[in-house]
Structures are given as C-alpha cells and as structure tokens.
Structure 1
Amino acid sequence: MKDKHALISRALAIGILFIMLLLTLFTSFSLLTIWFLPIPLMYLAARFGWRTGLSGFAVSMLFLAAICWNLQALLPLFLLCMGTGMGVAIQKKKSAFATLLTGSLVNSAVLIIILAISVFLFNYNPIQSGVAYLTQSFNETIKELGPSLSAQNLVTIRQYKSTLSDLIYLAPSMLVLVSVFYALIIELISLPILRKLHVTVPRWVPFRNWQLPKSIVWVYLLVLIVRAGQLDGGQGTTLFNIVINFEYILQVLLAMQGFSFLFAFAHRRKLPLVVPILCSLLGFVLLEMIRILGIIDLGFDLRKRIAEKH
C-alpha cells in the first residue's frame, strides 16, 4: 500500500511539473509559474531520495526538449537544475543555509555553462552587450540634457560612468549574487509548501540573529588597501578583476550585517516589526551608512554591548 501511494505521489509530481512547464513556456502565467517550477523536483528528491530526484530531472529534460528547443527553454532548465540540487540537500538533512548554498552553487554552475556556450559557440557575450547598451543609452541621455546639467549633476554623472565601466569586471560577482537571489526566493517559497506536503525541511535562523565572521572586516580592509594601490593603471588586470569582485561581494555582505543589526536592535527594544522594515527601506537609499553600521557591529560587538546595557 505504501509503495502504491509513493508511486502515485511521484506520478502526480511529474504530472504537475509537466503542466507547469507548459504554462511557463506557452502562456502568460509564466511570471507566476517560474517561482513554483522547481518545487516538484525538490519534492521528489527530498521525499524519495536523490535517485528519484535525478530520474525526475531526466524525464523533465526529455519533456522540455520535446516541447521547446530554443533559448526560451534556458530559464526552465536553470530552475529545474536548482530544484533538484536543493531537494537533494533537504533530503540529506542540511540546514537552511546549506540548502541555500547548494542552490546558489548549482545556479552559478548552470549560468557559467550557459555563458561559456554563448561566448565560445555563438560568439555572443550577453554581459558585454548589456553594458554597451547601457552606456549608449546613458550617453544619449546626457546629450539631450547637456545644457541643463549643474556641477553637482556632473559629479553624479562621473560616478555613474565609473560604475558602468566597472560592470564588465563585476560579471563574476553579479553572477554569484543573481544565483544566491534566485535560490533564496525559491527556498523561501518552497519550504512552507514542502512542509505542508509532509516533507521534513530545515527552518531559518531569524534574520536578527544572522552574524558574519569577524574576519570579514579584516578581509574587507585588505581588499580596500589593495584596491587603493590599483587605482592608477591597474584597471583590466587579473588582480584588479579579483579585487573589485571581492570588494563588491564583501560590501553586500556587510550591508546585510547592517540590516541584521537593525532588526536585532528593534527586537531588543521591543519595537514593532514595521520599524526595522521601514529603516531597512530607507537604508537602501543610504546603503553606505548601513555598510558602516555592519562594520561597527562586527568589529566592536555592537549588538552584544546593546544587549548587556539592556
């Protein structure tokens, strides 16, 4: 009886996956279904083991190849690979962060393979094309606004131009962040659903308790020192590419630490949840201040000192 029930569950999961693939590829529901597409494979791998998960992935790839054999199939491929990897992590009783890491690594690997195929087989680099398009649009806008620009506007324009020129070198870190972002959203959506389906899933640590290693501060300081030595004539070198990507990722991590501190502070003071949320929304505008707050929190145990005073 149990075997029959398991067989029916697997067949239903595959059937739902096929329906969602059709809805994603051929209907206007794709903006909704892409966020649920990995869940059937996550369910198969988490509930019945990695062999069942891989079998489901193989069947879904055959179905995908039969109904769609063009660039439109890349997004479902990306999501199905991630769903299988994260489902295996859940089946192995990994933590929520380890599951997120697994999904992020799978995403990064798939994106790298797709990018390599695009560059080496089709001689098309989507990153370079995107930067070129942004630069062209920016230059056209500046020409139209030329006479009305103030001195302060010119300073902002120079900063924006510098950011545009750095985008081509930031491709690796942007790829990593995109991978983490997609894995995080999928995990936040899928874990409650899998729990309803009687799958044992990990639970998240509250955001207010997220804490980076203190060594991050020293690594960031070292990166800033090296970056300062690369300002003149270093652009485009291997060292420059490594440093600028490390700097970007570390800035994101330190900003996350700062946002986490806001939630921890509000929790200590028993403030309503809406207070840290509003402060976080404002913090996206003043991101440099949030990053500094994260550095202070790590370097001086700021939340621990507040806890002791409270």
Structure 2
Amino acid sequence: MNQSKQLTDGALLTAIFIVLLLIWFFIPITSIFISFALPVPFIIFTAKYDWKPSLIMFIATLIIGTLFATYISIPVVVISAVGGIMIGAAIKRKLTAYETWARGTVGFVVGLLFSLLFTQILLDVNIVDELNNSMETSIDMSQSMMSQLGLEEELIEEQFALVKETLAMIIDLLPMLIVMAAIVQAFISQWISYKVINRMDHKKLQFPKFHHLRFPVSIIWIYFLALVLSLFQSDPDSMLFIGLQNILVLAGFLMVIQGFSFLFFYTHYKRMSKAIPIIVIILTVIFLPLLLPLMRILGIIDIGFGLRDRLFKK
C-alpha cells in the first residue's frame, strides 16, 4: 500500500512539475515567479518519502522535461531538483527552519554552478564574457548618445570610467551574487512548501519570528579574517583578492540582516511600535552609504557581544 501511494504521489508531483516547467519555458513573462514554485514538488515528495525515492523522480523529470522542453530545460530541472531535495530531506529530519534554509541554499548553489558549467561546456556560452560584451555595447551606445548631445568629451570619459569600474566590480562579485540568489530562492521555495505541506498534512511548519534570528559567531571571525587578508592584497585582479571581496560582501550582508533582526528584537522587547524597525529599513535603503555601515556594526555587536543576552540579564 505504501509503495503504491509513493508511486501515485511521485507520478502526480512529477506531472505538476512538468506543467510548471512548460509554463516557465513557453511563457517567459512568468519565469521569475514560476522558478520559485518549481522546487516545491521535490520538496513535498522528499519531505514525505526521503531523498532516495526522490532521485527516481529527478531522473523522470529530467527525461520528460528534455523531451517536452528540449535540453535547454536541463539546468532548470537540476537547480529545482537539487535544491528541492536538500530542503525536503531537512524537513524529513525535522531540522529547524534556518538549518533547512541553509541546506537548501547549498543545494541551489550546487544547481546554479551546474547551470554555469552546462552553458559553458555544452552550449559554449561564457556568462562572464557575455556580460562583459553586453555592458561594453551599452556603454559605447550611451557614450555616443551623450557625445551627440554636445557634452564635453573629458567629462563623458571620466563618468564612464567610473561606470566601467563599478561594472567590473559587479562581475568580480559574481560568486557572491550566485550565493545571494540561492539564499533568496531557498527562502521563498521553502516558505511556499511550508504553506502547501501545512494545508495538505495539517502540520505547523513555519519560520521563527524574524527577531529570533541569530547567526553564529563564526561569521564575525570569517569577516575579520577576510578583512585582514585583504589589507595585504594590492592586486585587484588576483583570484585571492576577488575571493576575499566576495566573502566580505556576503558576510557583511549577513551582519546587516543581523542588525535588522536585533532592531526588531529590541522594539519587541521594549513593546514599541512595529512600524519603527520597518521605517529604519526604508531609511537604510534610501540613505544606503550612511546607514548601512551602522546596521552592519549593530549586527557585529549583537553577534559578538550578545546584546540580547545582556538585555535579558538586566
């Protein structure tokens, strides 16, 4: 009976995945929204039957997806399957929401790296070269338009030199952007899956309140180690320098999130209005260069010195 139920559920969820994949493939305007829902069938199936039966579902979706949506769909299937299975297996083992999120992030990073290799090796498309070419074309067109408007050549060249440096920095931060994309993908897909599983199986899966979020102290050590090592790297084109910059940006982002979490915790602890931290977040986005470092420092202090524990002791 269990084997029959497993086969039925597997076939049904495979069919749902294929329908979502075809919508993603043939209606590009929906691709961003559908991409968050694609891992959900894998999450539901893995959360119920564990990862081994999910591998069969993965192979089935890979074959059927290739037949209906051509080989171009292979990276999408791999990203959805690997990330979804990682999240589902964590739910099956009753890990916390944040541990599940972390495992899902790792799964989506693996899937995204596979998609980059797939496009590089099989499709002969280098993502970095394509980004460079498209940005250079856009910059050349913009320079030409500004020259036709009669602006000074020296001023134009100075402005676009700064733009080129910024864009080059963004390309160097591609690994960090991949991790950030995986974090967002894992969070949204996991949140959707919680809603579906709760409705189907009458469970109470949910993320803890944001003011309970606390990252491990090791993030601070990683951040400061990368900061110290970057002081001895004078070559901005070296792989070590680029890697350190990616670590600094990612760890700094996590500490900003920690700072926001402490802000929500403090207002909750003092029974202040919930609008206060929301207003602070909006102001931080508006005055990014001024307030973002302050929120990062607040996150460092909260993680490193245990501000919450000190408040409770008082």
In the superposition, the TM-score normalised over structure 2's length comes to: 0.82
Which position in structure 2 is the counterpart of 1:186?
Answer: 189
Distance 1:227 1:51 in 2: 43
Deviations 1:123-162 (A, max 9, x none): 432123224433543465466558879xxx9999776544
Asked if the contact 2:75/2:114 (under 8 Å) is kept, the reply is no
Q: Which runs of 5+ in 2 are unaligned?
A: none
Asked if the contact 1:57/1:84 (under 8 Å) is kept, the reply is no
Distance 1:157 1:303 in 2: 46
Asked if the contact 2:104/2:186 (under 8 Å) is kept, the reply is yes
1:88 deviates by: 2.1
Paired letter, 1:228: L
1:208 deviates by: 0.9
Q: Quick check: 257-266 or 287-296, which moved more?
A: 287-296
Asked if the contact 1:258/1:297 (under 8 Å) is kept, the reply is yes
Specify whether residues 88 and 201 from structure 1 end up closer, same or farther in structure 2 by C-alpha distance, changes over 3 A only: farther
Deviations 1:211-247 (A, max 9, x none): 223343343233223222323xx12223212211211
Which position in structure 1 is the counterpart of 2:60?
Answer: 59
Determine helix, strand or coil for the equivalent of 2:70: coil
Which position in structure 1 is the counterpart of 2:15?
Answer: 15
| Correspondence 1:1-310 to 2 at 5 A | 7-27=7-27, 29-138=30-139, 140-141=141-142, 160-198=163-201, 202-231=205-234, 234-285=235-286, 286=288, 287-308=292-313
Asked if the contact 2:22/2:69 (under 8 Å) is kept, the reply is no
1:81 deviates by: 2.9
Asked if the contact 1:259/1:290 (under 8 Å) is kept, the reply is yes
Distance 1:160 1:260 in 2: 33
Asked if the contact 1:268/1:307 (under 8 Å) is kept, the reply is no
Higher helix share: 2
Asked if the contact 1:258/1:295 (under 8 Å) is kept, the reply is yes
Distance 1:175 1:72 in 2: 19
Determine helix, strand or coil for the equivalent of 1:212: coil
1:260 deviates by: 0.9
Distance 2:32 2:223 in 1: 37
Over the aligned positions, Cα root-mean-square deviation in angstroms equals 3.2
Q: Percent of aligned positions with the same letter in both sequences?
A: 26
1:77 deviates by: 3.7
1:40 deviates by: 1.7
Distance 1:308 1:135 in 2: 57
Distance 1:186 1:91 in 2: 16
Distance 2:161 2:271 in 1: 43
Distance 1:119 1:2 in 2: 42
Specify whether residues 124 and 23 from structure 1 end up closer, same or farther in structure 2 by C-alpha distance, changes over 3 A only: closer
Q: Quick check: 133-142 or 163-172, which moved more?
A: 133-142
Distance 1:23 1:281 in 2: 35
1:267 deviates by: 0.8
Asked if the contact 2:139/2:160 (under 8 Å) is kept, the reply is no
Distance 1:15 1:80 in 2: 14
In the superposition, the TM-score normalised over structure 1's length comes to: 0.83
Deviations 1:94-148 (A, max 9, x none): 2222222222222212222222233344443212322443354346546655887
Q: Which runs of 5+ in 1 are unaligned?
A: none
Distance 1:199 1:85 in 2: 22
Determine helix, strand or coil for the equivalent of 2:37: coil
1:185 deviates by: 1.2
Distance 1:33 1:239 in 2: 36
Determine helix, strand or coil for the equivalent of 1:34: helix
Distance 2:285 2:159 in 1: 18
1:195 deviates by: 1.6
1:198 deviates by: 0.8
1:264 deviates by: 0.9
Deviations 1:257-302 (A, max 9, x none): 1111111111112123333223222223432222122123234433
Distance 2:211 2:158 in 1: 37
Specify whether residues 256 and 160 from structure 1 end up closer, same or farther in structure 2 by C-alpha distance, changes over 3 A only: farther
